[in-house]
Chains A and B, each alone.
Chain A
Amino acid sequence: MSALAASPAPPALEIRDLVVRYGASRAAKRNPPAVDGVSFDIRPGETVGLVGESGSGKSTIGKAVLGLQPPSAGTVRLNGQDITQSSLKQRRRLAVDLRVVFQDPYSSLNPTRTIGQTLVEPLRVLGVPSREGERRARETLESVGLPADTVERYPSQFSGGQRQRIAIARALVCDPKVVVLDEPVSALDLSTQATVLNLLADLRDQRDLGFLFIAHDLGVVRFLAQRVVVLYRGQVMESGSVEPVTQAPRHPYTVALTSAAPVPRPAEQTARRQAREALGFRTAGAAAGSSTGCPFAPRCPLATEECRTERPLLRRVEQSLTACHHAEQVAALTGAAGVRP
């Protein structure tokens, strides 16, 4: 991991100052954008976790990268090539290396098409002959742990976990460099989730794939990702390698997220809960922050007047980038409350 971080390999996916606004009406322009100036890279073979709660804009970023939601500003580069404004048709050639796995394994497969038809579809678009396409479909299914004769069957014959494997096979069948994983396990039961996560980890290690892993669950992100970008209301709060960010957060919002995720150890969880309650985060229902200040200020125990008026820029604090005026105090905050052992 550290070797990868140091290598100067050009990013497979490069996102700069991405802004996405929904709606074009004047009223929509007055609302804060769904994604507000987000930048990050994914190097070949690297998994970047995009984490945040509902309304953080994480799925919107995925859509903008895939061309499903046109960005209002900023650039998206794939293998160095600008695809920001490319239509889906142009992407047929430009974005061969970019694929997707969606959250809901039930609505992501067309129930009227066989698995074979679904898998061959992207290959047909690329002009792969049908026999070759069929062969690759079978191969890819086997590589995600499904029998090759799956091609003849319909989605309704499979369980949620199996469907998600099929969706992964569809993403991999044309051998992409980057796969957007939009909450790929959050609709699954715990044991199924575990096997799909294992599969993704194996594929990541085996194929030198870049993953943009979108999730609301920091624990799952920590399992799969090397780097993580923490979003709140469309803005990056903190980013960096996954261990420093999750183990020694430099942003109060990251602290709120990590401390709120419960662990299945009653004694530890009791201590963590008491520590979190002592931190003094204000409720999520609180009013939105001012458009000029830090979006998290209304909930933040460290917030000062500065936070409410001046939007903090991302800056490097130790190993991470954080957008907090008081990043240096965050360690003391968690230390004092005993969140960190």
Chain B
Amino acid sequence: MSVLPLDVADEVATEPAQPSRRRRPPGFLQRPGGLLGAVWLVLVVIASFTAPLWRPYGVATQDLAHRLALPSAAHLLGTDPLGRDLLSRLATAGAEPLLASAVTVLVAFGIGLPLALIAAERGPRVERVLSRTTEVFLALPLIIILLAVIGVIGSRTYVVMAVLGVLISAAVYRIMLGVAQSVRQRLYVDAARVNGLGSLRVNLVHVLPSMATVAAVQAAQLFGIGLLINAGLSFLGFGPAEPQPSWGLMIQDASAHVYDDPWLMVPSGLVLSLTVVAANELVDAIAGRTTKGRVRTRTRPVARVAAVDRGGRASAALEVRGLTVAVDGGPTLVSGVSFRVQPGRVLGLVGESGCGKTMTARSLLGLLPEGVSVAGGAILWQGRDLAGLSERELNAVRGREIAMISQEPMVALDPMFSIAYQLVRPLRRFRSIGRGEARRVAAELLSQVGIVDPERVLRSYPHQLSGGMAQRVAIALALTGRPKLLVADEPTTALDVTVQAEILSLLRGLVQEIDLAVVIVSHDLGVVADICDDVAVMYAGEVVESGTAAAVLDDAAHPYTMALLRANPHVAEGHAVPVRLASIAGTVPAPGSWPAGCRFAGRCRFASDACRVPFVPLPAHGGGSVLCIRAEDLARENATWERERAGAEVGAEVRA
């Protein structure tokens, strides 16, 4: 029999369930596996503990005339080698393993859980001592030790199962420690400690509730393990003595009669197996784990916007027209986005979170998340429409023509491979060169992105690099295929401000050196001002204003852009800081609940009735546009989005 590892902790969300819906049954009962498991367990428990009240025969009542009988009206499940009724024996046998496994669970948690809480609270020194001790326990061969215990004290089931609980508490400690440590890192625990809550209350109120899901999962899993081990021991003859029935011994009987009565193995084996299956189904249901696999993506036909005119303003390397991105069968995330990028120029997609800028950027390489796809419009890349390409055709474009760098440089590199490997592989593929040559080019690329000791970095693994260094490597990686367009999704957001400045300078240098076109996603207007030639301001899935960076930032025409600029506390040296910043009431409307007409109207200080009906973008800033029906009025009135007055936030005038 194999002992299951307690393996699920890391997959289980430790976030406690939303407590506001108390009336409904808990979530795990709403899954079929969980419901069936729970029903079966309840049935088995009730049947086992009430067996003496209803069983048709005594457990020792022999009917030697009907030995090894098949199921019949008299014996619903048949009889055993001594002619005893299987149903009566099976039901009666259940009480002990169920109770004994519960003892194992209680003992294991009684020891493991408090130790885990203590170790998580007291810090590394206590934790080290406890963890080393439990490691010793974990390395003991469970069943052999249990047999040794039985050899010494005899087959006292509950004591033996309690000892199993002690041994297995090490595993419970291990898992609960991990959970407790992660819960303790949540800031509300620190906040409670600052509030002066005692250690016991902190644990009871703030730590334990968040561990409940994992604890329930572990308990159910451990219960199943307990049942299997208990049955295994009685199978070996170390359980209740004859004529007392036990599941293990009944299976042992079956093994002896596999030649003359194979039916015998069915009832006992099935009840034991189903009970363990039920416990494990409960585990999966509580853990919220479904057996559902990956959704397979289907490329769906893209509705084209007008015919592609190959003439005209053909200088754009990339032209996006009316791009719409939507969740398959769900809300639209990006709608009608159009912009152009020329070689040697940088376009900024700017806006707050949830405005669709990352989705727009990712659709350029066909790297939308699963279940999200391009639903309309065209992505014209050197005359070709990328929106309709198959995965295979896109793969030929990715890296070679369009490359990408992402927000978190530390996780963008594969932690399992050296930097050299990660650079050499694509270099060999893209440039058809040998290993040695590729390594030389890799070192050159690293020098090109400003790394002073490329040989050392080549030998390193990602976790050995700083954030800035990792982003330089990621840029080098993006350059391996000599792309003409680089898509950079918040490339400096995770970096320190001095490192950000270095990375922006590096990118600007590359744009000039190799005539790269860049689409950069950022929420930071300062970054846009620093590196972008053109900018498209996004709000609620559409471009609300576009034009050259100088025109848009210095002379914003859309109220949203005006508000963003006035909400920014950064001013250049020599300018006074504002007393208060501009604010925008409310929040960005979620995809699926966008209003007709201007999506910003609900939050706009200048909104009028005209804003509530759909309208088209107006030309602005030379080659750009503005999506505001009142833009001309506002420009004429010289309207500005005023900053708050002091005290507005606390509802009182305050001494300024």
Contact = CB atoms under 8 A, between A and B. Distances in A.
Nearest to A182: B187
Contacts of A302: none
B622 interface: no
Interface residues of A, number: 89
Given A260-B497, A262-B526, A112 B16 contact: yes
B193 A68 contact: yes
Given A53-B498, A112-B16, A267 B580 contact: no
Nearest to A199: B649
A264 B646 contact: no
Given A54-B496, A269-B526, A199 B650 contact: yes
A283 B581 contact: no
A266 B549 contact: yes
Contacts of B452: 283
Contact of A194 (B191, B193, B524, B583): B583
A256 B498 CA distance: 7
Given A191-B352, A340-B574, A264 B581 contact: no
A220 B569 contact: yes
A142 B652 CA distance: 12
B210 interface: yes
B529 A263 contact: yes
Contacts of A216: 496-497
B198 A198 contact: no
A91 B648 contact: no
Q: Which of A125, A262, A340 has the most CB of B within 10 A?
A: A262
A281 B498 contact: yes
A191 B569 contact: no
A202 B645 CA distance: 10
A198 B196 contact: no
A99 interface: yes
Contacts of B467: 54
Nearest to A219: B570
Contacts of B529: 262-266, 268-269
A328 interface: no
Contact of B571 (A109, A263, A285, A340): A263
A195 interface: yes
B395 interface: no
Interface string A201-217: 11101100000000011
Nearest to B451: A285
Given A111-B18, A202-B648, A202-B654, A276 B192 contact: no
Interface stretch (A31-39, A75-83, A100-108, A304-312): A100-108
Interface of B: 15-16, 18-20, 124-125, 185-188, 190-198, 205-206, 209-210, 352-353, 450, 452, 466-469, 496-502, 504-505, 523-530, 549-550, 553-554, 563-565, 567-574, 577-584, 587, 644, 646-652, 654-656
24 contacts: A24-B125, A53-B496, A88-B196, A108-B187, A110-B192, A112-B19, A122-B195, A125-B197, A126-B196, A144-B650, A190-B568, A191-B564, A194-B568, A202-B654, A206-B654, A247-B573, A256-B498, A257-B498, A258-B573, A262-B529, A264-B553, A265-B572, A283-B468, A285-B466
